Amino acid sequence: MINNSPNKIPQAAVLLLGAGYGAIKAAQDMAEAGKPLIWVTRAPHFLEVPLGKAAFTEWPEDLNFQFRPLYLRVTRHPLVTALTRTHVESIVREGEGYRVTLIQESPFVDYDLCTGCARCMEVCPLKDTTSPPLKRTPPYCPSRALDLDKRKKAPCREACPLGVNAQAYIALIAAGRFSEALEVIRRDNPLPGICGRVCHHPCEVACRRADVDAAVAICELKRFAADWELKAGKRPTLPPAGHKRQERVAIVGSGPAGLSAAYFLAREGFNVTVFEKESQLGGMLRIGINAFRLPRDILEMEIKAIEELGVEFKTSCPVTNVEELFEEGYKAVILCLGAHRDLKLGIPGENLPQVMGAVEMLKQVNMGSLKKLVGRVAVIGGGNSAIDAARAALRLGAEEVTIFYRREKGDMPALAKEIREAEEEGVNFTFRTAPVSIRGTSTVEAVEFIRMEMGEPDESGRRRPIPVEGSQFLSQADYVIVAIGQETDWSSLGGEFRWKDDRGRIVCLNGMMTGRPGLFAAGDVVTGPGTVVESMAQGRKAAADVADYLLGIEVRENEVTSFPGADYKEVPKVTEKLERVEARSREPHLRVKDFSEISHGLSEDEAIYEAKRCIQCAVCCECLACEEVCRSIGAIDHTRLPRTISFYAPAIVVAREEELADKKMLSEKQVHYIGSFNEATDIVNVLMAGSAAAGRAIMDTPSFGERKKGSRRTRLFQGDERKIGVFICTCNGTMAPTSVLENLTHLASLMPGVEKSALVFSACHPQGAEQIAREVRKNKLGRNILLSCACCPLEFQCISCNDQRNRVRLHLFNRLGLDRSRFEMVNMRDGLGYGMWSDNRMLARARDLLRESYFRLQFLGPLQEGQTSLGRSVLILGGSEVGIICARILDLQGFRVRLVHRCRIKGEELPSDVARRSLTEVEGQGVENISEAIVWGIKGHLGNFETRLEIEGRKRVLNSDIVCLTDLHLLPLAIPEGTFGLKKFYRYNFAFFNTPQIGLYRVMPRTLKRVSAGQAGAALAAHVASAAAEAYLKDHELSPRVDETRCRGCGRCVEICPFRAVTFKANSFGFYTAQVLRYNCVGCGGCVGRCPVTAMDMPYFSNRFLDDIVPFIFEGGKEPCR
Amino acid sequence: MVDVRLDGLVKNKGLFQCLECGKCATSCPRCMSGKEYSPRLLAHKVIAEREDEAFIENAVWECLTCDLCSERCPSGVDFSGFVIEMRTLLAETKGLKGYRAHDGAVHSWMRMMTVPELKQNRLGWINEDLKVSSTGEIAYFVGCAPYFDVFFSGIEVNTLAISRDSVRILNFFDVEPVVLADERCCGHDLLCTGDRKNFEILCRLNYEAFKDAGVKEIVFSCPECYYVWKEFMPQVCKGFDLKVTLLLDLIEREVNRGGMTFSPFSRRVTYQDPCRLARMVDKVEVPRKLLRMIPQLRLVEMEHFGHGAVCCGNSAFINCDAYSKFIQIKRLKEARATKAQMMVTSCPKCMIHLTCAMRDKVRGGEWNMELVDIHTILAREMGWFKG
């Protein structure tokens, strides 16, 4: 983020592979030693042990919390590019190092942007389920960013030809959010009311709930959503086009394909005209589907919704010549003619007037020209048209309706529900019969059938019917309806059309485009008779192709909306069986009397019950509700693609061998393995090993990386101290209700001196911080209040810190160059109790916080950063293996190293093992070897040590920036272990070489018990390198000052300081005064609180301030704001 | 108004008698430790340059009220009394000032005790071998020791040992003293930091509580408590009729009756006079007499002793700073110079302050010395003569 935005991945960096505590320590050492680092793990964050290993589970949880500050410091270090959910694709030799290729999985949540506001979690329809897709990262992971669990596309969604996101709308219905469910449907399907009634729902076939009990009634749920809107008194509306385009597109035919094409083109902003040869719109939806299945008002309303998008419909307007349309100025034409001409049986007697095609018959019924049908009706065929025709005939008054089908019942292409309903209504079925001839002279009298028997399966998987010789029989009939299929009626287009095949279907050559550029086709005219949703899918595809054609897009990038890797959620095994809800319908004997709709649809309770049966296979349902609430933050994007990163790595540090594809690499010279640990390993071993690996990697890369030269002090923006700015973070609307915060902003603007008071959508967001910086610079604000969740402006992370708080400060003070000493930061989030308190109470509390911070503001003042210069000379006392290795590594790093091989403390004997030690001169440009010396004493501090030595009988004083004690018998030279101030070492620094004197390092016997001397030497070198990484030690500007007349030298401050930032210096009274080493200090103020005589004081959070504010709060001071 | 009262103070405390001889300044431990503060200059400013308010207001808070200046003053100026009253006056008009050690925590708990409904549990220190009662004629005033031992646990002082040993001594004389569970602070530190209002509330609450318990005589081991009850209670509480006795006086009285003996204690000791005891109530000889009664105990005096003893460096928990430490170290060095093996005092505050100074992390060893309260020694060595 702040430094490692996607575009800023370094060309060359050390690769650190794997999460865990050793990796954190290695990252810290390398980064602080100035080595750019790319840190990679498959895990979602670096604290988690990856690949399901639970090696460190017995470690106390609070250890994780102790690592939080370190984790924050390291992962947001300027030289560290931390990539989670990333794996190594390849590592190949290149020059002296490696070329590393990484693949980062789709980062659906951008951790550099996520503010952790959790709005997404709130709006997620699946938040209350057993596996919510959005979860916070675990508490010990300080980013607390959101983690999105996304699997491959749900099977229902994959099965839908239109790709309607069934999982999402089911999830939303289950959550009672019906209008949003409808919105989700309409993204892909403009006709939910129609499809909810007549769709053949392949989604339900694919549904994995069937493995438990029965498929979810997805289709009914869709219908429910559409009906709910009507019941709520709203009319169907579709999302309008974003922008208008000039191009005109003609669509011939207003059936499902045409309507769908019209909708998707209109949504793209094209001017669409639909030509319909009939007097009413809808094509087969109107002609071929009975009103009792699809009420006409639904049909009309949904078409009307498309019309309202600006689509022009022309009825009774047959197109006779396609070329004329192009001449009229249409840039593209889509032919959606459908398949309206009934196929013929081709048997004698078919020309009798009482013999009708099913579509022809239904068209007459639905257009109102056929109102009555008396007598016996024989329907031939087994598809939906046959059923529709048969049921229509019943309602027209037929006494007896029989469907004759040549195969078995189970082979019927009609929907099972349709067949069942027809049976209920009294339609007779005769299977395994095929017509031979129709008898009658002027009218139909009977039909001659032949029995069939079932033979071998044919290419459709069904068994082939074979006529049984001599089984002919006659069946009395007054009407015969032939429903054996349809083909396109080419009569209106003049019969002669170039782009069709011999079956009368249009041949598409390029997507949905015919051989004529600009002429497209979709629906039954391309595929032969299909279902509504298939035709709509064709229409949508054609629309997309038309858009590409008109906009000149050659290849459209694959839209990835699904995470390809992870598999579906498992079908729950123990789920209790829940019965599938079927919609209630009118009684059969009543419903056959009219054409009113027979199904009542689902009630609200039934719909929610049914929707809750859904397994939510893909976990995240991609309803995109989260994306909507995250719009201003931009952290969530369901369409982010995996990315590939390639860089040069001079060395590789491996924390987890599992993450390395080729384990043989571990033996290579530039690959450093932190080590494998078992459950007996303790944390110190792991950290030591991390440090040692970092040391070896630093040795591999002597000339790599940079050491900051000279002053890093930048010019910070100062502003006019009289001008005050107040910035209030809304945390993407989760801080408090908007009215409260607006009120607060107004109150702030009334306070004396306030030049600018503004709401910031998220202070930790790059743009939020930029907004603050812009206002500060524009209005020259010299003192500022920021009410957000960040508690302090310090350059420091404590145990309370998290990624967002850290980011606020990194953005404002490091990236945008504001002065941290001019900011008063208040943690308003913890104080407001959003969700528990009334608005008034929240406002009162926020007002108090504002008043207090305004009060504190008067104590803000500019502070200067000081610095102490630091060279790179190191004195190593003790020529053991530890010392020699450390000296070598440091020499390669460009340090000026002096190594005293045999060394004893004045007045003590040289131990015999050291005395016998053979003196190997350490070679190197910079290493000055001193074979023997007696140490008289060490004085000074980091950057300025004076070591008094006696060399060959002559006294010498050696100056160095750092001193290392590598022989055990020299340990007394370090300040002893029991010295105050030492006890909290491990808690905060996880460093094993430290002494109470920063810059003076030692190797303890217990360290050598854990690791080899070589490892210890490397780790010590890493430690030294990181301590001397910068050319100067930056003083902490907010560190306490000591009033020397008050300080009693009691040492409580020295004792409490975990950072060794307080020491003693002699005073004129003959005892000692505390002294703050400002380059060690972090400004936490622990010493100030501990001082019994208030001799310590902070620059602006001062004792005087506290003295003033306490009465102010308790006794009611002068109000700074009205 | 302020001027009128100030005039009254100057007159009552004898400031007009000041000869500007400067003995006060050269005896003032604070002045002699290098602090820019002089009693003489303050007196001069109050008399002649009262318009220099800033100076006066600052200087008034610097004094230790150790009374050494009054001791040395040839004209009998009651300088400590003047400073205490000045602080009250300034606190009333300008608000409480002066910087308080421990961020004023000690004063805060004293002020908390002014709440009449406050329930305390301060009897936890009474061991099984101690006999106390809740009603009776003679009471023992414990003081702040139960609080001190908690608050100053960091420097490991044991001021409750004084209380235990005092009760032990009383038991020895067959007295089962009344010890109140809701005894309040005597208010000395509030008085000396100018908070007269709360001081008086404490006085009245204490008086009522002891009257309710049927007490007629109260015995004190702490010099400050004794000083306050003796000097201020009759001023504050109308009709004050309790007998106020210093425990050391009581022991002396009993010893004089005869029949008592002390077991030998072979030590060379020196005695630190608490300023309240030595100068304010003039009890210099009693402790020395009692110590000398112990066989084999050799009492050696420091360079400054008796009425001229140097303060332990602090009073009333204000102005603790590097100068205080300097005074304390000077005092400890004096004690070391006597080659005594042990330093005896009779005030818990001397004990706290000098112990704190000895706990120096760097050079503590150079000044370290065993520091024991006189009551502890007496309780341990006292016995009946067995003829």
Q: Which domains does chain B have, with CATH numbers?
A: 2-94 (1.10.1060.10), 101-252 (3.40.50), 259-384 (3.40.50.1860)
User: What distance in Å separates the CA atoms of residue A360 and residue A348, rounded to the nearest whole number?
Assistant: 19
Name A150's bridge partners.
Answer: A619
| A480 in a structural domain | yes
- Asked if the structure places residue A113 within a domain, the reply is no
Is A140 a member of any domain? Answer: no
Contacts of B356 in chain A (CB under 8 A): 1048, 1050
Domain count, chain A: 7
Q: Do residues A845 and A944 both lie within one domain?
A: no
Out of A487, A502, A529, pick the residue that ends a domain: A487
CATH value at residue A739: 3.40.50
Q: Based on the fold, state whether residues A953 and A878 are members of the same structural domain.
A: yes
- pLDDT for A679 equals 59
CA dihedral B147, B206, B353, B269 (to 10 degrees): -110
pLDDT recorded at residue A532: 94
CA distance A979 to chain B (A): 10
Residues A293 and A404 in one domain: no
Tokens of B184: 């309040």
Contact assessment for residue A167 and residue A616, using Cβ atoms and an 8 Å cutoff: yes
Better pLDDT: B56 or A1116: B56
**pLDDT tens track for A733-779:** 889 999 999 999 999 999 999 999 999 999 999 999 999 999 999 99
Question: What is the model's pLDDT at position A769?
Answer: 94
Both tokens assigned to A21? 């505590």
Does B101 touch chain A if contact means CB atoms closer than 8 Å?
yes
Interface check B336 vs A, CB under 8 A: no
Domain that holds residue A578: 155-238+564-612
Residues 6+ apart with CB under 8 A from A906: A934, A935, A936, A937, A950
Which of A448, A471, A487 delimits the end of a domain?
A487
**Within-domain flag for A705:** no
> Does A671 lie in the same domain as A809?
no
- What CATH number has the domain bearing residue A266? 3.50.50.60
DSSP A196-226: HHH---HHHHH-GGGGTSS---HHHHHHHHH
Q: For A523-527, what is the mean pLDDT?
A: 92
- This complex has an ipTM of 0.87
Find residues 364-383 of chain B whose CB sits inside 8 Å of chain A.
Answer: none
Give the residue-averaged pLDDT of A8-15: 87
pLDDT digits (tens, 9 = 90+) for B291-316: 999 999 999 999 999 999 999 999 99
Report the alpha-carbon distance of residue A622 to residue A620 in Å, rounded: 6
Letter string b/e over residues A240-275, b meaning 16 or more CB atoms within 10 A of that residue's CB = eeeeeeebbbbbbbbbbbbbbbbbbbbbbbbbbbbb
Please, what is the average pLDDT of chain A? 86
The verdict on A844 and A756 lying in the same domain is: yes
Q: Are residues A257 and A306 located together in one domain of the fold?
A: yes
- Please indicate, yes or no, if residue A849 is contained in any of the structural domains: yes
Answer yes or no: do B321 and A1070 touch at CB < 8 A.
no
Distance to chain A for B12, nearest Cα, Å: 34
Mutation for testing the B interface, residue in A1044, A1069, A1097 having most B CBs under 10 Å: A1069
- Which stretch of A17-26, A431-440, B200-209 has the lowest confidence by average pLDDT? A17-26
Strands A446-457 vs A433-439: parallel, antiparallel or unpaired: antiparallel
Chain B closest CA to A1090's CA: distance in Å? Answer: 9
The single residue listed with the structure tokens 């010549």 is A321
pLDDT digits 0-9 by tens, A290-345: 999 999 999 999 999 999 999 999 999 998 888 899 999 999 999 999 999 999 99
Report if residue A243 sits inside a domain: no
A1046 contacts B360? CB cut-off 8 A? no
Exposure pattern of B124-144 as b/e (b: 16+ CB <10 Å)?
Answer: ebbeeebebeeebebbbbbbb
Q: Is A122 part of any domain?
A: no
Give the domain CATH number at A602. 1.10.1060.10
pLDDT at B387 over 70: no
Given A826, A857, A888, the domain boundary residue is: A857
User: Nearest residue on chain B to A1090, judged by CA atoms?
Assistant: B102
Our CA-based measurement puts residue A1096 at a distance from the nearest CA of chain B, in whole angstroms, of 11
Using an 8 Å Cβ cutoff, are A748 and A754 in contact? yes
Chain B environment of A1047 (Cβ under 8 Å): 321-322
Q: Do A1048 and B363 touch (CB under 8 A)?
A: no
Same domain, A939 and A794: no
Could you write out the DSSP letters of every residue in A396-439? TT-SEEEEE-SS-GGG--S-HHHHHHHHHHT-EEE-SEEEEEEE
**Of the candidates A694, A567, A521, A551, the residue with the CA atom closest to the CA atom of residue A39:** A694
More confident residue, B363 or A754: A754
Q: Specify whether the CB–CB gap between A784 and A822 falls below 8 A.
A: yes
Q: Does the residue A712 lie in any domain?
A: no
Nearest to A204 by CA among A533, A560, A643: A533
Q: Give yes or no for A1044 touching B (CB within 8 A).
A: yes
Cα torsion A700, A704, A710, A711 to 10°: value is -100
Say whether both A741 and A689 belong to one domain: no
Distance from CA of B11 to the nearest CA of A (A): 34
Residue type, B19: L
Q: How far is CA B261 from the centre of its chain?
A: 29
pLDDT of residue A123 exceeding 60, the answer is yes
Give first-to-last CA distance, chain A, whole Å.
Answer: 40
Please tell me the predicted confidence (pLDDT) of residue A1120.
39
Say whether both A816 and A934 belong to one domain. Answer: no
Question: Nearest-CA residue of chain A relative to B317?
Answer: A1093
Cβ neighbourhood burial of A858 (10 Å; 0-12, 13-18, 19+)? middle
A398 lies in the same domain as A460: yes
A973-1026 pLDDT, tens per residue?
876 555 444 444 444 445 678 776 778 888 888 778 777 888 889 889 888 887
- If you compute the radius of gyration of chain A from its CA atoms, what whole number of angstroms results? 40
Give the tens place of pLDDT for each residue, B123-173: 999 999 999 999 999 999 999 999 999 999 888 899 999 999 999 999 999
Residue A434 and residue A499 share a domain = no
Q: A376: which strand partners?
A: A400
Q: What DSSP line would sit under B331-383, residue for residue? A: HHHHHHHTT-SEEEES-HHHHHHHHHHHT-TTTHHHH--EEEEHHHHHHHHEE
**Subunit contact A1093:B359, Cβ cutoff 8 A:** no
Residue with tokens 């094509």: A283
Co-location of A821 and A920 in the same domain: no
So what's the pLDDT on residue A987? 40
Residue A1109 pLDDT greater than 80, yes or no: no
Q: Between A227 and A923, where is the model more confident?
A: A227
Claim: this prediction has a pTM higher than 0.90:
no
The Cα–Cα gap between A905 and A885 comes to 22
Q: Which residues in chain B touch residue A1054, judged by CB atoms under 8 angstroms apart?
A: 361
